[in-house]
Structure 1
Amino acid sequence: MKHIITALIFTGLLISCNSSDKTNTTIQNSETTETTTKPTPTETNNNFTAIDSDEALIATALMAAPEASRANCKVIGYNMAGEFVTLKEGDNEFIVLADDPKKNGFSAACYHKDLEPFMARGRALKAEGKKHQDIFDIREEEMKAGKFTIPTGATLHIYSGPKAEYDPETAKVDDAKLRYVVYLPWATAASTGLPEAPVASNHPWIMNPGTHRAHIMISPLADDNK
Structure 2
Amino acid sequence: MSGLKYKRVLIKLSGESLCEKGGSGIDSGAAKLTAEKIKEAVQAGSDIAVVIGGGNLLRGAALSLSSDMIPRDTADYMGMLATVINGSALCEALKSVNVPAAVLSALPVKALNEEFTSAAAEMHFQAGEVVILSGGTGCPFFSTDTCAALRACQIRADLIVKATKVDGVYTEDPIKNPDAELIEKISFSEIISNDLKVIDHTAMTLCRENNIPLRVLNMFKKGNIIKAVQGERVGTEISA
Q: Which has the greater radius of gyration?
A: 1
TM-score (norm 1): 0.29
TM-score (norm 2): 0.28
